[in-house]
Amino acid sequence: MGKRIAGTAYITADGVQLALRGNLSVSISAVERTGIAGLDRVHGFEERPRVPFIECDVSLGNDTTIAQLSAITDATVVARLANGRTYTLFEAWTRDAFELNAEQGMTRVRFEGTSGSEF
């Protein structure tokens, strides 16, 4: 029996649904580890906090503008995936300057937050 693992997805910022175009990436890992190697052997690893994110392409138009996206700070951002998983960013903001792809009427949005969860 087949099981859906990819496909339809939805994204909201403070309850407002964005027109998700595609290229949805989620990374809610709280830490990043880097191996430490000495001259004689691997000594272990260092662990640092990392900023979790949700990144995607959204359509621009009457419902969504670059100004609206730029104004997002301290938001709850939720991505719901076809496989039933839900990813949430807390106290999220939009990170990058926005570039409009006029040919396709969209922009890439990267939300970053203080923490994330998976359900």
Q: Read off the pLDDT of residues 12-23 as tens digits, 9 standing for 90 and up.
A: 999 999 999 999
Residues 6+ apart with CB under 8 A from 93: 72, 73, 74, 75, 111, 112, 113
pTM of the model: 0.90
pLDDT of 44: 98
pLDDT of residue 111: 98
Find the domain containing 88 and state its range. 9-118
What domain count does the chain have?
A: 1
100 in a domain, yes or no?
A: yes
Whether residue 33 lies inside any domain: the answer is yes
pLDDT in tens, 49-108: 999 999 999 999 888 999 999 999 999 999 999 999 999 999 999 998 999 999 999 999
Residue 45 maps to a domain: yes
Asked if residue 64 belongs to a domain, the reply is: yes
Q: Would you say residue 4 lies in a domain? A: no
User: Following DSSP, what letter does each residue of the chain receive, concatenated?
Assistant: -----SS-EEEEETTEEE-EEEEEEEE--SEEEEEEE-SSSEEEEEEEE---EEEEEEE-SSS--HHHHHT--SEEEEEEETTS-EEEEEEEEE-SPP--BTTTTEEEEEEE-SEEEE-
Predicted pLDDT of residue 100: 93
Residue 1 has pLDDT above 90, yes or no: no
Here the CATH number for the domain that contains residue 65 is 2.40.30.200
Residue 82 included in any domain: yes
